[in-house]
Amino acid sequence: MEERSGKKIFGGIAIGKIKLYGKAENKVVRTKIEDADAEIKRYEEAKAKAIEQLGQLYEKALVEVGEANAEIFNVHSMMLEDDDYNESVHNIISTQNVNAEYAAAVTGDNFAEVFANMEDEYFKARSADVKDITERVVTILCGGAEDSDIGDEPVIIVAEDLAPSETVQMDKSKLLAFVTRLGSANSHTAILARTMGIPALIGVDREESWNGKIGIVDGYEGKLIIDPEMPVLEAYFKKKEADDEQKQLLLTLKGKENVTKSGQKINLYANIGNPGDLASVIENDAGGIGLFRSEFLYLESEDYPTEEEQFQAYRKVVETMGGKKVIIRTLDIGADKQVDYFKLDKEDNPALGYRAIRICLTRPEIFRTQLRALFRASAYGNLAIMYPMIISVDEVRKIKEISKSVKEELLAEGVSVGEVEEGIMIETPAAALMSDELAKEVDFFSIGTNDLTQYTLAIDRQNAKLDAFYDAHHPAVLRFIQMVCDNAHKVGIWAGICGELGADLELTETFLKMGLDELSVSPGCILPVRKAVRDTQ
């Protein structure tokens, strides 16, 4: 029996045969060619076929993992259209008179290395995407075909790494779990694993001798057990049975109140990234939407989304939620969410840079367009607006002036506007410390614990090397949360959490004692948190 530790990506227990998975590598040989134009044409035809394949993958992923996660294949298509990437391939073919396979492979290696050497963990993870699109084009040029067949029986996939395209193409009914040596918690494959509910680990070195042996993936403890002894295997069968029963029991909580045994109530809302996530919100019985990230409209567009485009998206969400509250966060571009057409300067520390409300207040034409769309949509349901990255009362007052102006403008045009709560996110220590004054200016507080934690602890949450130092339960963070909640209640407004900490079951009782009015979590966490609330005295 062997046991290996890895970084857990998604919880759960999987027991089954291990299958070592690896793509057949394309053997790319540098070959001299006579006609560079003809070779460039070969490359362009292969690229077009690759983009066609990615379109098919997008449609498949749309059904299996939803619009937000399928979007990676549109991103891959856009990467294949990148001018710098294509100019590099063309230049290598033309100046060196070499074959397209070689030119594409060299370009892919060069660009992947550039991303891998970036300091930001999000952009580092994009190195794998460059390798994936390059491998696709090279495979087509070499006359090969994709093969993501994992066999006829359910297996635990153990691989060096997995590209998103491979993960999506695998037969999910045969995929018990996957374990890789490479990858990161921010990779698209990791995100897909969480969305599909597949137990997954990264950072595990594999051995050829494991192939075909019985394995156990413990996604809760971050362990891979190979060829387990019978007592261990029996214990894990019982653990998996209990885990499956627990998931079934959670379903019985649908329609139940979020109330403790002593009668304290709390609202449980969902965080979503775009309208495609609404099915999950409804399926998991969320009481509303506590964080609707509006930047998907900007990330998926090649130019600034129009007022009408935004209005239609917001209207769809509020109408679908049928009177339940929908809190939409205004544009939060910047930091790890870059958009070319915004033409943002490269910053040494983008997490502390020109982002979110700072962009909105200095580019009012973008902000006003979004606010017009939001206020128009408010006539169709229960819509609230919250503003991110606030650090001062002056900022809030400037926002209120613009907001008031937009509403008056719409009403003068004869456009209906609903009753809209306007609140702010508390995600900076400055906002937490000033929450007594800020509370007098707004209708609610929503605490963004992800950023609040990283700024309070001075730790980049994207940096894997700092995981040992990152403590979301740090007393300073919890004191800030209590301070914000108390200051909200002093002036009669409500306070909630919309960061990942809201789903931390170890803190549910603590949050209830603090008096928080709302927790907004990913849709799949609604029922576990509801159970924790109902189990609390």
Q: Is the pLDDT of residue 260 over 60?
A: yes
Q: Are 186 and 125 in contact (CB under 8 A)?
A: yes
The percent of residues in the chain predicted with pLDDT above 90, rounded, is: 53
524 compared with 100, residue with greater pLDDT: 100
Whole-angstrom Cα distance, residue 148 to residue 160?
Answer: 14
Q: How many CA atoms lie within 13 A of 233 on its CB side?
A: 13
196: confidence class by pLDDT, cuts 50, 70, 90: low
The residue ranges of every structural domain in the chain are 2-23+147-231, 36-141, 255-535
pLDDT of residue 149: 63
The CATH label, of 3.40.50.720, 3.50.30.10, 2.60.40.60, 3.30.460.80, for the domain at 2-23+147-231 is 3.50.30.10
For 449, counting Cβ atoms within 10 Å of its Cβ (0-12 exposed, 13-18 middle, 19+ buried), the class is: buried
Our answer to whether residue 498 is catalytic in this structure is: yes
The stretch 149-175 carries a mean pLDDT of 79
Q: Are 6 and 203 in contact (CB under 8 A)?
A: yes
Which of 76, 360, 485, 498 is an active site residue?
498
Which of 76, 188, 485, 525 is an active site residue?
188
Q: Is the pLDDT of residue 63 over 80?
A: no
Q: Is the pLDDT of residue 486 over 90?
A: yes
Mean pLDDT score of the chain: 88
CATH number for the segment(s) 255-535 = 3.20.20.60
Q: pLDDT (tens digit, 9 = 90+) per residue, 211-226?
A: 889 999 998 899 999 9
Backbone angles phi, psi at 355, to 5 degrees: -155, 165
The stretch 496-524 carries a mean pLDDT of 93
Tell me the pTM: 0.64
61 compared with 314, residue with greater pLDDT: 314
Q: Are 156 and 135 in contact (CB under 8 A)?
A: no
The stretch 227-250 carries a mean pLDDT of 88
**Encoded tokens for 273:** 């990234």
Rg (CA), the chain: 25
Q: pLDDT (tens digit, 9 = 90+) per residue, 261-299?
A: 999 999 999 998 888 788 778 888 999 999 999 988 887
Whole-angstrom Cα distance, residue 200 to residue 185?
Answer: 10
Q: Which CATH superfamily is domain 36-141 in?
A: PtsI, HPr-binding domain (1.10.274.10)
Chain centroid to CA 401: 33
